[in-house]
Structure 1
Amino acid sequence: MVALVVLDMAGTTVRDDGLVEQAFTAAIGTQGVAPDDPAYAPMLAHVRATMGESKISVFRHLLTGDEARAQGANAGTEARAQAANAAFEAAYGDLVGAGHCVPIDGAAAVVETLRTAGVKVALTTGFSRATADRILAALGWQQLADLTLVPAEAGRGRPFPDLVLTAVLRLEIDDVREVATAGDTTYDILCGLRAGARTVTGVLTGAHDAEALSAAGATHVLESVRDLPAVLGL
């Protein structure tokens, strides 16, 4: 039996369509790295590889230490990473506000199907609470799930297990083996596996392909979250 399903947002239940990369380009530009800068391409490659990770963690990696120097950027302080993250969240929020945020086809119906069957649902993201709330409001999803979580509310973001385990605690699930997760990135897969989830599903509507998701350890790889209830026998 599955008692809880933890679903990623952008790329899994919410269509991204490159918004993360657009917001990253705007944010990194505030730190003096333009698209024609030699440091930009390897930074963007890292962003793509770590889709699903907490965004402040990404900017810390890129801007505050040895990795920044290796990419030809000027390494800075924590304040620099925080400034870039704030710029990212603002840019992403503006894109959401401009109407560039739509649900994955059938995603809301999946959540409703799960909850009708008595399964609790948590929506999780690597964004800040302010950005998550803006996405939820844009979609009219404020009451869709039992719980929504961001990294700051759980401890650490993906690939650590904190988001899933926090959902288990808050929703009073008895056993992590009663948990299923779904996401579009390898970090979603690692998060679910590290939390001990029974079913860890990758979906092909977002950042990473079937080969990457399978290599990360996904128990299932689906074309879309629409197919998840059938995998769970619902």
Structure 2
Amino acid sequence: MPLIVLWDIDHTLIENSGVSKEIYAAAFASVAGRAPVRPARTEGRTDRLILTEMFRDHGMQPPAWDQILSALEAAGAERETDLARRGRALPGVREALVAVAAEPGVISSVLTGNIAANARVKLRAFGLDVLLDMECGAYGEHSADRAALVKVARDHIQEVHGLRQDPPVVLIGDTPRDVQAALDADVHVVAVASGIHSAEELSAAGASIVLPDLRDVSALIDRLRVLAHGAD
């Protein structure tokens, strides 16, 4: 049976070293006409939600999404070189992506709070974009609700790949919001304690599978093979 694997990006695949918050600050300033005095609140939120909250935190009514989207795209494009210099792919990520992509029947894509343009910037900065089916992903412009992105990704994948069955889905992410999105969407989750949240926090959020990082590629592949056959 096919398996859909959907990867989070920040702190799961890459360390952005503060560039993400700089992108949000620049986008806010571009639209608001002044620099923010409060940083963006991220931790698994989608870009739609992050910027909406950012404007409200500053006592402002959020403007039209198209205006925010354009500002985010411009801010991300301007920082790709800086991201490549300051950030890094996390340990084991490249090997894990290669191994998952090589698994028969597996479709490996992304489910990220980043808008599509900035997801590409972040992955391209470290040569990871070519290891994922970026066309079928679900991105931060699609919904403010992370759980809703699961259906977006599943629908995209079924349409592009011509799947008639409804294959199992696995989210791989580093925050309790990733775990909650999987639980809300009734799909599997593999939590990775590679961000600011501990393995204990991720387990408490409801993740039954928690890895310390992605360096043990064999363990990850074994887990995915089990999930592909319908077991937890």
Per-residue CA deviation, residues 97-132 of structure 1 (Å, 9 max, x unaligned), is: 222343222212112212322122112322222222
How far, CA to CA, are the matches of 2:133 and 2:66 in structure 1?
30
How far, CA to CA, are the matches of 2:210 and 2:14 in structure 1?
18
Report whether the alignment pairs 1:124 with 2:111: yes
How far, CA to CA, are the matches of 1:169 and 1:10 in structure 2?
25
Aligned to 1:97: 81
Question: Structure 1 residue 12: deviation in Å?
Answer: 0.9
Which runs of no fewer than 5 residues in structure 2 stay unpaired? 227-232
Report whether the alignment pairs 1:159 with 2:150: no
C-alpha contact 1:202 1:218 (8 A) present in aligned 2: yes
Report whether the alignment pairs 1:202 with 2:191: yes
The letter of the residue matching 2:198 is D
The letter of the residue matching 2:108 is V
How far, CA to CA, are the matches of 2:156 and 2:186 in structure 1?
13
Report whether the alignment pairs 1:57 with 2:45: no
The letter of the residue matching 1:21 is K
Aligned to 2:229: none
Identity within the alignment, %? 26
TM-score, scaled relative to structure 1? 0.74
Question: Structure 1 residue 34: deviation in Å?
Answer: 4.7
How far, CA to CA, are the matches of 2:26 and 2:127 in structure 1?
27
Question: Structure 1 residue 25: deviation in Å?
Answer: 3.1
C-alpha contact 2:5 2:169 (8 A) present in aligned 1: yes
Aligned to 1:115: 101
How far, CA to CA, are the matches of 1:90 and 1:133 in structure 2?
13
Per-residue CA deviation, residues 167-213 of structure 1 (Å, 9 max, x unaligned), is: 5524427344x32221012222122223322x311112224333442
Which runs of no fewer than 5 residues in structure 1 stay unpaired? none
Question: Across the two proteins, how many residue pairs are aligned to each other?
Answer: 215
C-alpha contact 2:46 2:143 (8 A) present in aligned 1: no
Aligned to 1:219: 208
Aligned to 1:17: 17
Q: How does 1:152-191 map to 2 (within 5 A)?
A: 157-160=145-148, 161-166=150-155, 169-170=158-159, 171=161, 172=163, 174-176=165-167, 178-191=168-181
How far, CA to CA, are the matches of 1:147 and 1:60 in structure 2?
25
How far, CA to CA, are the matches of 1:86 and 1:212 in structure 2?
35
How far, CA to CA, are the matches of 1:58 and 1:152 in structure 2?
10
The letter of the residue matching 1:187 is R
Q: CA distance change for structure 1 residues 173 and 7 in 2, over 3 Å: closer, same or farther?
A: farther
Q: CA distance change for structure 1 residues 162 and 92 in 2, over 3 Å: closer, same or farther?
A: same
SS of residue matched to 1:139: coil
Per-residue CA deviation, residues 141-180 of structure 1 (Å, 9 max, x unaligned), is: 343123442436856651323344335524427344x322
TM-score, scaled relative to structure 2? 0.74
Question: Structure 1 residue 86: deviation in Å?
Answer: 3.9
